Amino acid sequence: MELDRLDRDIIGALIEDARATYAEIGQRVGLSASAVKRRVDRLRETGAITGFTARVQPAALGWTTEAYVELFCAGKTSPAEIGVAIARHPEVVSACTITGEADALLHIRATDVRHVERVIERLAAEPFVVRTKSSVVLSRLIDAPPALARNESASSA
């Protein structure tokens, strides 16, 4: 589906503040409130916008430690198999298969370093996992609210 300038601007506004009123968004992009609502409804129907979520300071909820874990898997392990298995570990907040030596890269959040250790042990115990290699996060530099609205500036750079 095709997104025009207005759609991108509306998405940008909603990424910045998902609870902004249609009138506020409309003022910003140059549209009436009802026109904005119609577009937002359409963007949700087509799947461009998948939902709205609160941005939370993980530390405030007790998740003070994060780590990245590389998974080295047995010969013919499928991505689907990995996905199903790691979905059972609630500490895994993000995961993907990647090119390079490792097969998958996992991002985990835990309450402390000991907790990280337990999670890695649990992951390593998965039958298809041959080896893991992990890095604990020292300090977070960037955690962007997906700034996907600056498509032009990015591709013209």
Partner DNA sequence: TATGAAAGAACCTGGCC
Partner DNA sequence: GGCCAGGTTCTTTCATA
Residues forming the site for DNA (CB under 7 A):
6, 21-24, 26, 30-35, 37-39, 41
Nearest to 89 by CA among 106, 68, 65: 106
Choose among DNA, its own copies, none what residue 52 binds, the Cβ cut-off being 5 to 8 Å by kind. Answer: its own copies
Among 38, 45, 83, 131, the residue binding its own copies under the rule CB under 8 A is 83
Q: Which residues contact 144 (CB under 8 A, 6 or more apart)?
A: none
* Residues 115-144 contacting its own copies, CB under 8 A: 115, 118, 122, 133-144
Read off the amino acid at residue 137: V
The residue among 117, 137, 115, 123 whose CA lies nearest residue 73 is: 123
Q: Which does 131 bind (CB under 5 to 8 A by kind): its own copies, DNA, none?
A: none
- 3-62 residues in contact with its own copies (CB under 8 A) are 3, 8, 11, 14-19, 46-58, 60-62
Task: Please identify which residue in 86, 120, 123, 129 interacts with its own copies, judged by CB under 8 A.
Answer: 86
Report the residue from 24, 28, 37, 68 that binds its own copies according to the rule CB under 8 A. 68
Using CA atoms, how far apart are residues 88 and 77, in angstroms rounded to an integer? 17
Q: Compute the distance between CA of residue 114 and CA of residue 106 in angstroms, rounded to an integer.
A: 17
